[in-house]
Amino acid sequence: MKDLIIKSIKDFLSPYMLKLTFLPIVCLFVFWAVIFYYFSYDLFVYLFSFVDVSFTSSWLTWLEYVLDWLSKVTIFLLLFVLFFVFILFSNLIVCSFLAPLVVKHTKDKHYGSIELLEDSNLVSIFSLLKIYVLYLFVLLVCIPIYFIPVLGACVLLFINYWFFTKCVVFDVGSIIVGVSNLKQIESNNKRDIRILGGLLYGASLIPFLNFVVPFFSLIVFSHLIFTKKSQG
């Protein structure tokens, strides 16, 4: 796995990959920075209006202050995490369009003898839409949990970790081995996929790296799936 990461870093730093990566990154960064600069305060005020912590007994005043502080911190963390959710969501959409170029470049450079088994565009799009629909459904169902301090943020992070890993693996895997064969690859390599997905998603939570990591992940999982395919 160490060699795979090193190989991916070298590929990512190549002029072609850097050019392929940073143009959409700059556009996405400017777009979301402007959105949150103008609307984050209003959104914070709106969400906080739903939280009214007050007690009639004077001796419970200290508890009111504590709960008020916890509510503010929770909402702030929620907005912070939502910022990364929107960035992740938009990055993964862009990654879906860049995946064929990344896979082709990786194949030509390292795995020229391996044939691609890409399915029709309709099959790939339908399968990817199912992942997006399931993700959005789970996000909506879990909305009440997000307002529970700490637990809400953890649940949201786990949902996004699943979505991140699932999308990136599908984007490159559906091109390399096809949708039907990808399920077998995922089943046989759960440990490697979970470890790489966890490391990459963790890195994507770091400010500014979150714009780069989804594109870098395409390279990492391309190498992983090509390697597994070559091993039979």
pLDDT digits (tens, 9 = 90+) for 193-208: 999 999 999 998 887 7
pLDDT (0 to 100) of residue 198: 94
Helix (H) or strand (E) holding 184: helix 179-188
Whole-structure pTM value: 0.78
**pLDDT of 79 higher than 80:** no
pLDDT band at 171 (very low <50, low <70, confident <90, very high): very high
d(CA 39, CA 232): 51
End-to-end Cα distance, the chain: 18
pLDDT band at 119 (very low <50, low <70, confident <90, very high): low
Q: How far is CA 178 from the centre of its chain?
A: 22
pLDDT (0 to 100) of residue 176: 92
Please give the single-letter amino acid code of residue 211: F
d(CA 97, CA 110): 21
pLDDT (0 to 100) of residue 37: 76
Ordered by start, the domain boundaries in the chain are 2-30+85-230
172 touches 225 (CB < 8 A)? yes
Tokens for 21? 């990566």
**pLDDT of 45 higher than 80:** no
**pLDDT of 65 higher than 80:** no
**pLDDT of 59 higher than 60:** no
Mean pLDDT of the chain: 82
pLDDT (0 to 100) of residue 23: 78
d(CA 70, CA 66): 6
